[in-house]
Structure 1
Amino acid sequence: MSQDGDGVRRIAVLRCNALGDYLMITPALAALRRAFPEAEVTLLGGAWQADFLSGRPGTVDRVVVVPQVAGLAGQPGGAPPASALPEFLAGARAYRYDLAVQLHGGGTASNPLVRALGARWSIGLRADDAAPLDATVPYRYYQAEVFRYLEVVALVGADGPPEYPLLAVSDQEQAAAAELLPGDGPWVALHAGAGDPRRRWAAERFAAVAAGLAAAGVRPVLVGSAADLPVSAEVRSHAAVALHDLTGRTGLGTLAAVLGRCAVVVANDSGPLHLARAAGAATVGLYWCGNAINAAATVRTRHRPLLSWTVLCPVCGVDASTAGFPHRPGEGCAHRPSFLGQIPVAEVLEEALDLVAGATCGPEDVPSARWAPP
């Protein structure tokens, strides 16, 4: 493939998993857009991505939902059955992609899938046991994800900064967020959930941060999906102050607008933390040390990752850094205690208030991109 982009008119990118996982590839998608400005970019993703991204201006032009693929880690619900895979691949070959980009793990399942698309050129990640593509970057687990994917697209001359591009939110989503966050701020959003319990900071600590924020004149608000309702209720049960609770009351687009209206977002390493970064909010991210290597923000002016250095399971002592934490279930121990116990309330509160003090914009100046749906 020529490095000047000649003849590249259709690009397929495989990234079929969860919200945070998707947002970590957006700097690479933006780099592809700059390198091939005339090309159409198709995301091969999940049903939630089709719902959320289709018609939303940004780094992809279309989303095609991938049917169930054996061994494709993290594939979200709503995928067509595996029996639809031959038709999916036939359609991809008929579409005649010029470039296929594998940004979905080490490639054991994803590289054969990308090769079967029939693109003129394929690039991606490759673990030791994975099939080759035309050009690959070695996959090693511990690497900052945003730089991992930028390294892949650099194979075709695409480059750019590691910061997330601002997510487009509609006027309707902005209006809904304004109704959900009434009155004067500053607001600080708290997200106490995470899909893996080991990534959750204790609910009573979130409650203590909320009390400290309220004492400083800041308005805390709980956010999250319907799956986070139990943990948000637990935070409220420990709270010494009344908490505004939006958990389960927003779709992703409205949640992005809500987070963008907040001076700071304090959250575990999960989708809403990444969404806050994409919405232009400052963040205090709570990480297990291993996850921080892969997922923490790389700048400190607006993002403050705080780390817990616990590597031994608090229940049985198994070394989590070498026993499959957090993405290889079945290896290591079966315990799921929080690994974030070393992060103190005082440090979280200090960083959050420092970011609030440095905030320079109000809700009317939210730096998110906007668009009006047709």
Structure 2
Amino acid sequence: MPTSTAPVPPAAQPSAQPSAQPSVPPAVPPATAAPALPVVGTLGERFTDVRRIAVLRGGGLGDVVFALPAVEALAAAYPEAEITLLGTPLHRALFADRPGPVRHVEVLPVAPGIRDAAGAEHDPAAVDAFFAGLAPRGFDLAVQVHGGGRNSNPFVLRLGARHTVGLATPDAPPLERTVPYVYYQHEVLRDLEVAALAGAPAVTLDPRVAVTDDERAVGLSHRPPGADRLVVVHPGATDPRRRWPAERYGEVAAALAEDGVGVLLVGDATDLPAAEQILAVVDERVTGPARALVGSLVDQLSLSALTGVLATADVVLGNDSGPRHLGQAVGAATVGIFWFGNVVNAAPFGRGRHRVLMSFTRACPVCGADVTQVGWTAVRCPHDPSFVAEVGTDAVLADVRELLGTAPRRSEVTLPGGASSAPSPTPSSTGRSGDAPATR
């Protein structure tokens, strides 16, 4: 976390008699002094006269969340600089009117290796217009944490920034300063290593997203009636191989409802089939008042509303997915189901509030291909079975229950003016919050 310094009390008035000991400045109380973090990688010399920084990071929700500690490091090292994220429409929605180091988000054009969009093709004229629109900014520093650099480094160089720092595979054009891109490295640490090379040491290892009071109020309004505790479940993932079977989520949701715990499903339209399977299992196993504790908000929330729902959850349960990573960033305890290779790149660091259940699948269950060979040079087999199906329901349920028993209750928030907001009696699974579905 950012280093903070307690106010230093004024020096004591000199006494009439000279002191036998030399006076020393009062020390910062240890309880209020944050420890310095070790440098990730090599700390480069800080650039001078940096007023505008561009950070290239497209991809999904989780991808940009992983980049946030690096962005915080840049903001701390260059406090006078304005940081612009070159990202996606989803990223723009996430950071709109949100406190934090990202000042602007410029939506990337559709281009190979830069951004894909359903139904959109690469338009060189649109790419030219993108750079023409940014030219007046006059970036002093451009930071590339988008990937190995084969496509993204030429893109960053086109910005014309005075200084460039980023990742590079052996076949990528070099930037002024580069960190080798090696697939098996945690994404947070990878991005922090790039920031350090730009003269920006880490101030936190944990991604953090500020939550507004309005978002918390919206989150509370969706809490199922009578739910004292809430588990938010995201059953999806961009890669189908990272998805735990939906019926297992149904078993967990049913058991939690019988415990008196509220359960809300979240996700985008691609998660609707999984949500239907989960609710079908709940319908078979849960009757009476407990059944009302389980609801679905899948394809019903804006990204802002999703942020509020995650922020007011006691536990977020999901796969290696954007909503799980966002849930962690907004302060919820999490239980994540990961393939062991993804633990290296994406799992939370701590285990006090974040639990990780791993599958050690090494070969494709369909064709037997070695699935540990991943990254920018690896050949992917064409099959999409779940790589995490071996994770058992009992183990997941045990971790969720343990966190529910130890995590602070998040069922009430204090709104501006000191008013306390309680859950709304309106059922949470009806209506649409906002005008843009949240996606990964």
Report if TM-score (shorter chain) is over 0.5: yes
Distance in 1 separating the partners of 2:87 and 2:317: 28
Counting only pairs closer than 5 Å after superposition, residues 160-199 of structure 1 correspond to structure 2 as 160-165=203-208, 167-181=209-223, 182-199=225-242
Runs (4+) off by over 4 Å: 76-80
1:156 aligned onto 2:156: no
Match of 2:171 in 1: 129
State the identity %.
45
Deviation, 1:317, is: 0.6
| Partner-residue secondary structure (3-state), 1:157 | coil
1:234 aligned onto 2:277: yes
Determine if contact 2:216/2:413 at 8 Å carries over to the other structure.
no
Determine if contact 1:92/1:118 at 8 Å carries over to the other structure.
no
Determine if contact 1:306/1:348 at 8 Å carries over to the other structure.
yes
Distance in 1 separating the partners of 2:94 and 2:198: 28
Structure 1, unaligned runs of 5 or more: 368-374
Distance in 2 separating the partners of 1:135 and 1:40: 21
Mark the CA change 1:199 to 1:193 in structure 2 (over 3 Å): closer, same or farther. Answer: same
Distance in 1 separating the partners of 2:342 and 2:414: 29
Distance in 1 separating the partners of 2:372 and 2:254: 34
1:260 to 308, 311, 330: 311
Deviation, 1:275, is: 1.1
Match of 1:372 in 2: none
Mark the CA change 1:203 to 1:128 in structure 2 (over 3 Å): closer, same or farther. Answer: same
Deviation, 1:236, is: 1.0
Match of 2:336 in 1: 285
Residue deviations 1:228-251, cap 9 Å, x none? 111111111122223211111211
Q: In structure 2, what residue type is equivalent to 1:320?
A: V
Match of 2:412 in 1: 364
Determine if contact 1:5/1:35 at 8 Å carries over to the other structure.
no
Deviation, 1:335, is: 0.9
Match of 2:77 in 1: 35
Counting only pairs closer than 5 Å after superposition, residues 309-348 of structure 1 correspond to structure 2 as 309-322=360-373, 324=374, 331-348=379-396
Mark the CA change 1:221 to 1:141 in structure 2 (over 3 Å): closer, same or farther. Answer: same
Residue deviations 1:264-286, cap 9 Å, x none? 01101111101101111000011
Q: In structure 1, what residue type is equivalent to 2:327?
A: A
Aligned-residue CA RMSD (Å): 2.2
188-197 or 313-322: bigger deviation: 188-197
Deviation, 1:216, is: 2.8
34-43 or 235-244: bigger deviation: 235-244
| Partner-residue secondary structure (3-state), 1:353 | helix
| Partner-residue secondary structure (3-state), 1:24 | helix
Tell me how many residue pairs correspond in the alignment.
362
TM-score, scaled to structure 2: 0.78
Q: In structure 2, what residue type is equivalent to 1:286?
A: I
Structure 2, unaligned runs of 5 or more: 1-43, 416-440
1:23 aligned onto 2:71: no
TM-score, scaled to structure 1: 0.91
Q: In structure 1, what residue type is equivalent to 2:163?
A: W
* Structure label with greater radius of gyration: 2
Match of 2:324 in 1: 273
Match of 1:371 in 2: none
| Partner-residue secondary structure (3-state), 1:88 | helix
Deviation, 1:47, is: 2.0
Distance in 2 separating the partners of 1:328 and 1:47: 29
Distance in 1 separating the partners of 2:414 and 2:352: 17
Determine if contact 1:8/1:98 at 8 Å carries over to the other structure.
yes
Determine if contact 1:199/1:339 at 8 Å carries over to the other structure.
yes
Deviation, 1:365, is: 4.3
